[in-house]
Chains A and B, each alone.
Chain A
Amino acid sequence: MALLRGKAWVFGDNIDTDLIYHGKYLPLTDPREMAKHAMEYVPGMEDFSKRVSPGDFVVAGRNFGSGSSREHAVLCLKYLGVAGVIAESISRIYYRNAINNGFLVLECPNISKKVKTGDELEVDPESGLIRNLSSGEELFAHPLSGLEREIMEKGGLIEHIRSLMEG
Chain B
Amino acid sequence: MEKIASSKLGREVKAGERVWLPLDLVVIRDFAGPNAILQFEEITKGRGKVFDPERIAITFDYQVPAKDEKVANNQKICREFAERQGIKHFFDVNAGIGQHVLLERGLVTPGSVIIGTDSHMNLLGAVESFSVGVGNTDVVAGFILGKLWFRIPQSVKMVFNGRLSYPVTSKDLALFFVSEMGGDGANYLSVEFYGEVIDSFSLADRITLSSMVTETSGKIGFMVPNDEVKAFLEERVGKSVEIIEADPDAEYLEIREYDVSGLEPLISCPHVPENVKKVRDLRGVKVDEVFIGSCTNGRYEDFKVAYDYLLRVGKGFNPRVRVIFTPSTKEVALRLLREGIASAFVEAGGVFTNPGCSLCTIGHHGILASGEVLLSTSNRNFQGKLGRGSYVYLSSPLTAIASAITGEITDPRDLL
A interface vs B, CB < 8 Å?
14, 16-19, 22-24, 26-29, 41, 43, 62-63, 66-71, 74, 89-93, 96-97, 100-101, 145-148, 151, 156-158, 161-162, 164-165
- For residue B375, give the distance in angstroms from its CB to the closest CB of chain A: 19
When A and B form their complex, which 4 residue pairs have the shortest distance between CB atoms, in order from nearest?
A: A71-B135, A97-B135, A63-B184, A27-B70
What is the chain A residue whose CB lies nearest that of B34? A29
Stretch at the interface among B4-12, B140-148, B195-203: B140-148
Most buried by A among B38, B62, B133, B385: B385
Known: A23-B385, A29-B34. A157 touches B119 (CB 8 A): no
Residue pair A27, B117 in contact (C-beta under 8 Å): no
- For residue A119, give the distance in angstroms from its CB to the closest CB of chain B: 24
Besides A70-B31, A96-B134, A97-B138, 7 more A-B contacts (Cβ < 8 Å) are: A41-B388, A92-B219, A146-B18, A147-B149, A148-B18, A158-B140, A165-B144
Residue pair A93, B134 in contact (C-beta under 8 Å): yes
- For residue B71, give the distance in angstroms from its CB to the closest CB of chain A: 6
B151 contacts which of A16, A22, A62, A145 (Cβ < 8 Å)?
A145
Roughly how many angstroms separate A92 CA and B185 CA in the complex, as a whole number?
Answer: 11
Roughly how many angstroms separate A22 CA and B387 CA in the complex, as a whole number?
Answer: 10
B382 contacts which of A16, A90, A164 (Cβ < 8 Å)?
A16
B263 contacts A by Cβ under 8 Å: no
Known: A18-B384, A93-B119, A158-B43. A23 touches B184 (CB 8 A): no
Chain B residues with CB under 8 A of A43: 383
Residue pair A66, B217 in contact (C-beta under 8 Å): yes
Known: A24-B363, A70-B135, A93-B119. A158 touches B183 (CB 8 A): no
Residue pair A100, B217 in contact (C-beta under 8 Å): no
Chain A residues with CB under 8 A of B135: 69-71, 74, 93, 96-97, 100
B136 contacts A by Cβ under 8 Å: yes
B343 contacts A by Cβ under 8 Å: no
Chain A residues with CB under 8 A of B341: none
Roughly how many angstroms separate A69 CA and B136 CA in the complex, as a whole number?
Answer: 9
11 A-B pairs with CB atoms under 8 Å apart are A16-B380, A18-B383, A22-B362, A27-B74, A69-B32, A71-B35, A90-B187, A93-B134, A97-B137, A147-B149, A157-B138
Most buried by B among A18, A28, A97, A145: A18
Instruction: Render B25-61 as a binary contact track against A, CB cut-off 8 A, 1 for contact.
Output: 0000001101100110001000000000000000000
Roughly how many angstroms separate A70 CA and B360 CA in the complex, as a whole number?
Answer: 14
- For residue B351, give the distance in angstroms from its CB to the closest CB of chain A: 21
Residue pair B32, A70 in contact (C-beta under 8 Å): yes
Chain A residues with CB under 8 A of B388: 41
Chain A residues with CB under 8 A of B219: 92
Instruction: Render B184-216 as a binary contact track against A, CB cut-off 8 A, 1 for contact.
Output: 100110000000000000000000000000010
Residue pair A91, B184 in contact (C-beta under 8 Å): yes
Residue pair A92, B272 in contact (C-beta under 8 Å): no
Roughly how many angstroms separate A92 CA and B384 CA in the complex, as a whole number?
Answer: 22
B188 contacts which of A68, A92, A101 (Cβ < 8 Å)?
A92
Residue pair B362, A157 in contact (C-beta under 8 Å): no
A-contacting residues, B338-393, CB 8 Å: 361-363, 380, 382-385, 388
Roughly how many angstroms separate A26 CA and B144 CA in the complex, as a whole number?
Answer: 24
What is the chain B residue whose CB lies nearest that of A64? B184
- For residue B215, give the distance in angstroms from its CB to the closest CB of chain A: 8
Residue pair A23, B362 in contact (C-beta under 8 Å): yes
Roughly how many angstroms separate A71 CA and B134 CA in the complex, as a whole number?
Answer: 8
What is the chain A residue whose CB lies nearest that of B62? A26
What is the chain A residue whose CB lies nearest that of B215? A66
What is the chain A residue whose CB lies nearest that of B16? A145
Roughly how many angstroms separate A57 CA and B234 CA in the complex, as a whole number?
Answer: 51
Chain A residues with CB under 8 A of B141: 100, 157-158, 161
Residue pair A158, B39 in contact (C-beta under 8 Å): yes
What is the chain B residue whose CB lies nearest that of A160? B141
A-contacting residues, B244-284, CB 8 Å: 272
A27 contacts which of B71, B119, B121, B383 (Cβ < 8 Å)?
B71
Residue pair A66, B35 in contact (C-beta under 8 Å): no
Residue pair B187, A89 in contact (C-beta under 8 Å): yes
- For residue B74, give the distance in angstroms from its CB to the closest CB of chain A: 6
What is the chain A residue whose CB lies nearest that of B143? A161
Chain A residues with CB under 8 A of B188: 92
- For residue B122, give the distance in angstroms from its CB to the closest CB of chain A: 10
B68 contacts A by Cβ under 8 Å: yes
- For residue A156, give the distance in angstroms from its CB to the closest CB of chain B: 7
What is the chain A residue whose CB lies nearest that of B217? A91
B361 contacts which of A19, A23, A156 (Cβ < 8 Å)?
A23
